[in-house]
Amino acid sequence: MRIWLTFSAALSFILFLHFPPPSHAVSPPITLLRSRKFADEPPKILSNQEIWFNQTLDHFSPYDHRQFRQRYFEFIDYFRIPDGPIFLIICGEGPCSGIVNDYIAVLAKKFGAAMVTLEHRYYGKSSPFKSLSTENLKYLSSKQALNDLATFRQYYQDSLNVKLNKTKVENPWFFFGGSYSGALSAWFRLKYPHLTCGSLASSAVVQAVFDFTEFDQQIGESAGPECKAALQETTQLIEHKLAINGRALKASFGAADLDIDGDFMYFVADAAVIAFQYGNPDRLCKPLVEAKNGGEDLVDAYAKYVKDYYIGTFGTNVQIYDQEFLKRTDINDDSSGRLWWFQVCTEVAYFQVAPSNDSVRSSIVDTKYHLDLCKNVFGHGVFPEVDATNLYYGGSKIAGTKIIFTNGSQDPWRHASKQTSSPEADLPSYLITCHNCGHCTDLRGCPQSPLVIEGNEQNCTSPDAVRKVRQKIVEHMDLWLSQCQDTGRSFF
């Protein structure tokens, strides 16, 4: 995610949107006559047919006319021809291999919407270059990505008009995103209010943060006193063993290749984060608290959780924590790690450092660790321009309109989001509160990973909390989309 965000959390929607890709194909943007019949078991992905679009490389240069191929997907089975809305689902910091059957699909059915999703530049198959050298990454930024979305949106609308034999009329558009792509969704409405009726910004990290101590503090709060104490003791024991025989310790966690102690301790911290961030707190806390109460070895218990769940079930590749691996400039299955770290090291930081006291994570994961990583992986002169990012977008004081912000109570990323409503500007903010309500609960239900079909909320400890926020989302969308249709396009 690191939407966004811890290494696996920072690659927030990689795990949500990663499906085996079909072969390349260049085809028109929409096939209105295509239909689909579902089996009794609804699919996890609604469409994975790749479609390609020629995108501008540098939107800010009047002289550079280079283009690259950008991948997108569409699902039109619910589309109400010819005037139904178009839902653009923004892909974030990872490969985008299709349109997922989450709660957005439920909304698309309700509103008769077409669904399209655009892969973020550089990620997945949408890389402008064959080498991901630092020099070649200079076009990787949120600003360029927003311009990609605006350009694509116009292209898709124009293509649709040709197919429907329409002129000078636009469908109402609505933008969606979660985590980093949630921030992009909010920022798009801020910068291009004439191109979308509104945006849903789920767990949207709109506030760039240099030293993000609130992240670790939320982990302690989400864990609760007993589990937090067990985690803190485990961290201390791991630090002690690391000093005595680090090689053996790392091997016991399946992380023998992480030579830098900071990389290993970041990996150890992330393994705990993921349980709370994605709605599976009991997978971590239950065995750890039982081990502590039973006088068992906490490090062994935690290592078992890491190997069985974080590496096994969740599917984390340990090498994405290895700075030597992050230096690789070839395009590979785990290039997203390098790409997201570049955005972290240049724009948003979100440095998940240990607070000065009462921390869950190790103090080895400090500001110096992050800055050293940025320099080691990308070279000198790379530094996160956090103040400039917040000045450009407004941070949590974003001055846009018609943006819905949603967050889960247990999600550490909510402290980089907008958590208070601004009713006068049509900027509602909703907090979904329950024991396993984490990252993008409104879209994913519980748990947030692995995927629950149509974002079913029944496994949330408070399904009503999710349903109430979803009803508010529908009400806002219904109003804003109807206002767009009254004018023929979106408006300020």
Q: Which positions are catalytic?
A: 179, 411, 439
In degrees and rounded to multiples of 5, residue 429 shows phi and psi of -130, 130
Cα–Cα dist 119/127, whole Å: 10
How many other C-beta atoms can be found within 10 angstroms of the C-beta atom of residue 83?
A: 15
Q: Longest C-alpha distance within the chain, in Å?
A: 73
Cα–Cα dist 384/307, whole Å: 33
**What is the b/e burial string over 303-313, where b = at least 16 CB atoms within 10 angstroms of the residue's CB?**
bbbbbebbbee
Query: For the chain, what is the HEC assignment?
Result: CCCCCCCCCCCCCHHHHCCCCCCCCCCCCCCCCCCCCCCCCCCCEEECCCEEEEEECCCCCCCCCCEEEEEEEEECCCCCCCCCCEEEEECCCCCCCCEECCHHHHHHHHHCCEEEEECCCCCCCCCCCCECCCHHHHHCCHHHHHHHHHHHHHHHHHHHHHHHCCCCCCCCEEEEEECHHHHHHHHHHHHCCCCCCCEEEECCCCCCEEECHHHHHHHHHHHHHHHHHHHHHHHHHHHHHHHHHHHHHHHHCCCCCCCCHHHHHHHHHHHHHHHHHCCCHHHHHHHHHHHHHCCCCHHHHHHHHHHHHHHHHCCCCHHHHCHHHHCCCECCCCHHHHHHHHHHHHHHEEECCCCCCCCCCCCCCCHHHHHHHHHHHHCCCCCCCHHHHHHHHCHHHCCCCCEEEEEECCCHHHHHCCCCCEHHHCECEEEECCCCCCCCHHHHCCCCCCCCHHHCCCCCCCHHHHHHHHHHHHHHHHHHHHHHHHHCCCCC
